[in-house]
Chains A and B, each alone.
Chain A
Amino acid sequence: MKRRQFVRTVGAVSALGAVGTLGLVAGCATTGTGSGSRVVVVGGGYGGATAAKYVRMWSDGGIQVTLVEPNASFISCPISNLVLGGSKTMADITTPYDNLVRRHGVKLVRDTVVAIDADKRLVRLAGGTELPYDRLILSPGVDFMWETLPGMARPGAQDKVLHSWKAGAQTVALRQQLEAMRDGGVYALSIPLAPYRCPPGPYERACQVAHYFSKAKPKSKVLILDANDDVTSKGPLFKKAWADRYKDIIEYRPKHTVTDVDAATNTLKFEFANDLKADVLNVIPAMRAGDIALKSGLATANKRWCEVDFLTFEAKAAKNIHVLGDATQSAPAMPKSGHMANQHGKTCAAAVVSLLTGKTPNDSPIYANTCYSFVSDTDVVHVASVHRYDAAQKTMVTVAGAGGVSAAASQLEGQYALAWARNIWADTLA
């Protein structure tokens, strides 16, 4: 080790303060690097689980990582629309957290965080435990802005009108509603104004439900009610799929902002259109950063999303607290996707390992996004982009000339999409 580097390391260690000399010496027992430092990760989705694994891996096991996550298994949002379409099962999209624990030595705590004390650097769990941290990584995902749909506060409304925008019990329940629907019925899907989690997801969902109807109840309709002016992702590819494959099933209505829902009568109310009744309502409400981020004052953009430093993912509002994934105020043209959250997780993990071992984080991160969408049970289209850090603008920007969309839907990309899922699940969780 060069002398200058050594001095920097010592300086950074002193800066850790609370850990101090004792923590450092005590850390020797476990050997490795960044020894004695404690990272707490909140939320085991694509962002959090990836960050937990990569902090362990890249610190050679030297940094202790505790993952706070209420569920025993990860359930993937990507591919969950295929469960609605009937070509995949819940088991196909579920992966237990075991490998993070067994192979990577992540400590899994099945609980939720109810409060963050940024001064004392600890999180308080619903079960009463307090977990101290040197760096906190929050990957809280999204929660819904129910206040924009007053009727959804009525008892039972949220059990009847589903969003199914977090894969899990609602995915199963929506599939059951579709199975129970009469042939000739109408399934209405409402889409909030962007930004929301997974831009192409609603349009893929429409394809999946239409695919199911075409096989099982061909007289039925899929009505897409989009608050946006037009399809927000892969528009021409989706419109071609609807025209070529589901002409008599799918109807698309842009500029339809839902203002309220009457669950008792299955009725949607709009800003500028007549009320609409359907057999199955699937309302995706407007969304924002997860509750814990809002409660902790981290959602500095419109009280909705968390602004971060894209070199480290440290929140603009708080030192030593990093925020990942859908909860962040996105950089220009950066989608809220699982693929992107996985990249956030790694960029943040690298920065956290650097910071906890007294090194300077990488000043030029570069990574890609790819979102695959199934337009049937086999055929897929994608959108891809490459993002690099721009020092002048202090944000991530897309690399001009790179990225693009599929020329046409294909079975080959269907195979790659499933291979993508296997690989990203393993990269995140194994």
Chain B
Amino acid sequence: MKRSRELLMGLALCGLSAWAAAEVSPVRSMAAACANCHGTEGFAQTGMDTLAGQAKDALLKKLLDFKTGAKPATVMHQLSKGYSDAQLEELAGYFAAQKK
């Protein structure tokens, strides 16, 4: 008990908000799997499309079109099929929210 009171004090000193901030949400982890090709947080190096900051609806439409085959692709038709439509929507929302 004494120990946990010390811990509480420690936390109070640190400020609780700092502890709450370190949240690697599942969607952030999921989006990190796109970074190998589209850059960290969707900011790409030359030769790949930057996803960060594109409109959510536009991103989602492209992803769904890759999945159905409506949009021609070398690899995205194969990768997008690995995700549910709901996951693709989450990904689109995540990248749309990334701003420089």
Whole-angstrom CA separation of A54 from B40 in the bound complex: 10
Q: Which residues of B contact A343 (CB under 8 A)?
A: 33, 36
**Which size class do B's interface residues fall under?**
35 or more
The majority secondary structure among interface residues of chain B is helix
User: Residue A403 contacts which of B9, B33, B44, B78 (CB distance < 8 angstroms)?
Assistant: B78
The complex places the Cα of A358 from the Cα of B14 at a distance, in Å, of 15
A118 within 8 A of B: no
Question: What is the chain B residue whose CB lies nearest that of A58?
Answer: B24
CB atoms of A426 and B13 under 8 A apart: no
Contact A350/B46 with A1-B16, A14-B4, A420-B36 known, Cβ cut-off 8 Å:
no
B19 and A427: CB pair below 8 A?
A: no
Q: Determine which of B10, B39, B47 lies in contact with A24 in the assembled complex, contact meaning CB atoms within 8 Å.
A: B10
The number of inter-chain residue pairs (CB within 8 angstroms) is 169
Contact with A along B17-61 (1 / 0, CB 8 A): 111111110101110110111111000111110000000000000
CB-defined contacts of A148 to chain B, threshold 8 Å: none
Checking B4, B23, B39, B82 against A427 with a beta-carbon cut-off of 8 angstroms, the contacting residue is B39
Contacts of B48 in A (CB 8 A): 416, 419-420, 422-423
What CA separation (Å) do A286 and B65 show in the bound complex? 43
Segment at the B interface, from A105-113, A130-138, A406-414 = A406-414
Among B6, B19, B82, contact of A366 (Cβ-Cβ < 8 Å): B82
Q: Are A419 and B46 in contact (CB under 8 A)?
A: yes
CB-CB < 8 A to A6: which residues of B?
A: 11, 16
How far does the alpha carbon of A341 sit from the alpha carbon of B18 in the complex, in Å?
30
Minimum Cβ distance to chain A for residue B90 (Å) = 11
Instruction: Give me 14 A-to-B residue pairs in the complex whose CB atoms sit less than 8 angstroms apart, sorted by A's number.
Output: A10-B4, A21-B6, A60-B22, A342-B36, A350-B28, A362-B26, A399-B82, A402-B79, A403-B79, A404-B78, A410-B74, A423-B44, A426-B39, A430-B40
